[in-house]
């Protein structure tokens, strides 16, 4: 099946710094990618929908100035957590659906962010 990669898989940063997470579709083009956040023992919550070449659509309650999303190409979307705080510590997962493909949505392996 199609492959989605995320980098880094784990990151630890100091409070106040910014962290960039990359999501790549390795063998297909994805005009739309999704960013989810998952707190421990909870479900995935959609943060934003990333559209290639246009602004991301953020879910209610998600600060667009804090979670910057850039979908610069058909295979890459980035999520930047700006001025990270300990409460931003979470598991961030991206997903993508192959354009013109089937129904499956492919998930990246996730990035575990810890803010000290």
Partner 1 sequence: AQKITQTQPGMFVQEKEAVTLDCTYDTSDPSYGLFWYKQPSSGEMIFLIYQGSYDQQNATEGRYSLNFQKARKSANLVISASQLGDSAMYFCAMREGNNAGNMLTFGGGTRLMVKP
Nearer to partner 1 among residue 82 and residue 105 (C-beta): 105
CB 3 within 8 A of CB 107: no
Point out which residues bind partner 1 (CB under 8 A): 1, 31-32, 34, 38, 42-46, 49, 51, 91, 93, 95, 97, 99-101, 103-107, 109-110, 112
- Which residue, among 1, 2, 48, has the nearest Cα to 25 in the 3D structure? 2
Q: Rounded to the nearest whole angstrom, what is the least distance from the CB of residue 49 to partner 1 in the complex?
A: 6
Nearer to partner 1 among residue 57 and residue 83 (C-beta): 57
Nearer to partner 1 among residue 66 and residue 101 (C-beta): 101
Beta strand extents in 14-104 (DSSP E only): 19-25, 32-38, 44-51, 57-58, 67-73, 76-81, 90-96
């Amino acid at each position: 099946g199609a492959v989605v990669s995320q980098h880094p898989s784990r990151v630890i940063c100091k409070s106040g710094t910014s962290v960039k997470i990359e999501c790549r579709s390795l063998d297909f083009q994805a005009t739309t990618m999704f960013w989810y956040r998952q707190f421990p023992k909870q479900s995935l919550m959609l943060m934003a929908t990333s559209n290639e070449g246009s602004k991301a659509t953020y879910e209610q309650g998600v600060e667009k100035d804090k979670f910057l999303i850039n979908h610069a190409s058909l295979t890459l979307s980035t999520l930047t957590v700006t001025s990270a705080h300990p409460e931003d510590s979470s598991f961030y997962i991206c997903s993508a659906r192959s354009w013109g493909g089937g129904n499956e949505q492919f998930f990246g392996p996730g990035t575990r962010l810890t803010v000290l």
